[in-house]
Structures are given as structure tokens and as C-alpha cells.
Amino acid sequence: MKKLLLCACAFTSLAGGALAADLPARMPVKAPDYVPMFTWTGFYLGGNIGVGWTNGNATTTVAGIPGTISGSGSGVLGGGQIGYNWQTNSIVFGVETDIQASGGSGTANGVNGALTSTATGKTPWFGTIRGRLGYAPGRWMVYVTGGGVYGHSNVNGTTNIGVPFSASSDFWAWTVGAGVETALWDRWTGKLEYLYVGTPDRVPVPAGVAVTGGRANTSILRVGLNYHF
């Protein structure tokens, strides 16, 4: 009986050793999938759509009679943008330019003594050239932006004595704003942006009218989609 137990133990040890010899020294471990780190550096282009609203006033002189004009307007706008970003750690520097078409219009009313006028003004297109400075800890970024605005405006109207008038002009202005942009999928990002536009350097003035002072306040709120190369 004792010999039988010894033989059984010896057989078990040999079988266990043989089985262990057949096993690999270490079980294979699957390498984790590689996920590239998101970066804001590089070129991008995209489109946007939004709304704009404005109000303004000015001091005028017609036939030597002083007066004032004031008005407001709003409308839908949309266009495209292109830009480039440089990222250093969580700081992003960028430049961006865009071109916009606007379907909005505004109404202005002027008074110069007994002479009154009503006009409709439009800015059918404009563009911006801006710098951007952002903070991007990951796949989202908040930023401030500022630069110049250029565009074209026109005005058409009539006076209370039935005299029609019209004028148009190109203009420059300054703009500042802020926004937030986030990665959506693959190379696509979406953004929400607000811009404030200051008083333009010139406005369309009909013949016989002198504008000696004025101020305009314009706001733009838009959403956009960008593809990063």
C-alpha cells in the first residue's frame, strides 16, 4: 500500500511537470489600441451661419439745417472661414479670415428741421481678418479674438417732399469677440462665436448731406463647422 501511494505521488508530480512544461512561460497580453492625441495645430476651413443686429445714430446737416438720423436693423448671415492654429501645451495661437453674405436690412429716420427722411440700409457682404488666442486643455477650446472688418453698405430712401436718394460705400471697422470650439468626430470641430463690431470708418451718405458725427453698434452671433487638415 505504501509503495502504491508513492507511485501515485510520483506519477502526479511527473504529469504536473509535463503539463507545466507545455504551458507558455507568460500568457500573451493584447496591446491597447493606439489613440492619437488630439492637436489644434494646422490648417482648417469651414462654414458658418448666424444672426446680426445693429443700431446707430449720427448728426447731419442738409442744406445748412442741422439734424439727426438714427436707425436699427437685423438679419441672417452666413459664409465660410479659413485659418491656421499653433498649439503650445494648452495655449493656442491662430489667425482666421472669413467672408460673409448678409440678408439683413435696417431702417433709419432723419430729421432736419421741417425735412424728414426714411431710408433702408443694407450690408450685403462683409469679411473679417482676426487673430485668435485660446486655452485648450484637450478636445475643447475657449478663445478670444480680434481684428478688422471690411465690407460694403448701401442706402436707399426718400424725403417727405418726395425726393428719392441713394448712396453706397466700402468700409473698414474693428471687431473683438470670444468663442468656444470643440472636437466633434475625427477631424471635425464645431464652434459658437460672438463678435462685436465698432463704428465703420465711413457710411453711405447721399449727395447734399453732411455727416459730422455718429456711432454704430453691431453684434454677430454665429455657429460654425470646421474641418482640420
Torsion sign across C-alpha atoms 54, 207, 167, 176:
negative
Residues 3-30 have pLDDT tens digits of 333 333 333 343 344 434 444 555 555 5
Assigned architecture for domain 42-228: Beta Barrel (2.40)
pLDDT of residue 38: 83
Q: What does the alpha-carbon distance between residue 182 and residue 36 come to, in Å, rounded to a whole number?
A: 17
Residues 109-161 have pLDDT tens digits of 999 999 999 999 999 999 999 999 999 999 999 999 999 999 999 999 999 99
Q: What does the alpha-carbon distance between residue 95 and residue 133 come to, in Å, rounded to a whole number?
A: 9
Where are the chain's structural domains?
42-228
pLDDT of residue 186: 87
pLDDT of residue 32: 53
Residues 181-193 have pLDDT tens digits of 999 988 999 999 9
- Contact between 123 and 100 under an 8 Å Cβ cutoff? The reply is no
CA distances to 7, 145, 201, 227 from 84, rounded to whole Å, are 80, 13, 28, 11
Residues 62-107 have pLDDT tens digits of 989 999 999 999 999 999 999 999 999 999 999 999 999 999 899 9
Q: Report, as an integer, the average pLDDT of 207-222.
A: 92
Burial 140-149 (b: 16+ CB within 10 A, else e): ebebebbbeb
Q: What does the alpha-carbon distance between residue 17 and residue 181 come to, in Å, rounded to a whole number?
A: 62
